[in-house]
Amino acid sequence: MTYSKTLTTLAFLAATSLPGFGQAMDGNLIGIVSDASGAAVGRATVTIENIATGVKSTTTSSEIGAYRFNNVLAGNYKLTATMTGFTAFGVNNVRIETNKTAAINVTLEVGSVASTIEVKEASAVIDTTTAHVTNTFEGKQVQRIPMFGVGVGPTALGVINLSLLNAGVTSSGSAGYGTGPSVGGQRPTNNNFMVEGVDNNNRSTTGVQIAVSNEAVAEFTVQQNQFSPEFGHSSGGQFNTIIKRGGNELHGSLYEYHQNRELTSIDEAFKR
């Protein structure tokens, strides 16, 4: 009897379980630690600190000086590298973007550990580890788009309209069903919509399930090709929206979306 009940329970769990998909809401940071002569510095301590939350992660460089941080939440970080006999090295505002691998190489100078060489701003980070065609929109770009992500119709796409700024992304021209733009000549039905890496697809209309207000968006990423395995859902565009997170400082925002035909510019078809 007990054996029979166990089999019944297992069968029920298998039938009611849902498929899981890898989340895509983070990035990676890699680099090489070397001295002034270019020789690798192994066993150096490398630390990254989230500027907004103060959360830290630490790793140690390998014998060839390489270090790597995986699954780092998108945001701005401060990177610090220390090693006995060398001056500490720091870089501010290292930007980690969703689905990208940033590379920051560190050069340590011989000197006192008590002193620190600090670079105020990190240079633009370019992902050279993949062949992804990806574009990330953040901050002011997200807030300044005039079409917000609530309601129904075209305006419900909100920040997804930013993808039209990418090469190879165009309006579908109402060809076929589905919502969203055409990526690489494909129909909107081939697009994949995510929020924080979680599936946000409406199965009945092949569009977004939940519309996110522009004001709530911290980062919006569009991938057009060469997807990694976690993006096996669709062959079109991969649209991933990252929601704003809290920090250690009190902050907030006040906004209003006011749209009506009185504020709309005159269409050329009606201009006299």
User: Per residue in 70-113, pLDDT tens?
Assistant: 999 888 999 999 998 898 899 988 989 887 888 999 999 887 65
Calculate ∠ Cα 81-52-242, nearest 5°: 110
For 169, half-sphere exposure in the C-beta direction (CA atoms, 13 angstrom radius) is: 23
Domains and their CATH numbers in the chain: 26-119 (2.60.40.1120), 134-262 (2.170.130.10)
The Cα 59–Cα 72 span in angstroms is 13
If pLDDT is split at 50, 70 and 90, which confidence band does 151 have? very low
Please, which residues have CB within 8 angstroms of residue 194's CB and are 6 or more apart in sequence?
24, 200, 238, 239, 240, 241
For position 72, what pLDDT does the model report?
Answer: 92
pLDDT computed for residue 15 by the predictor: 40
CA-CA distances (angstroms) from residue 42 to 61, 66, 254?
5, 8, 49
Count other Cβ atoms within 10 Å, centred on residue 117: 16
User: What average pLDDT is seen over the chain?
Assistant: 78
d(CA 2, CA 267): 74
CB 198 within 8 A of CB 188: no
Please give the model's pTM, rounded to 2 decimal places: 0.65
What residues are paired with 60 via a beta bridge?
A: 45
Percent of the chain at pLDDT exceeding 70: 72
Mean pLDDT of all residues in 29-35: 94
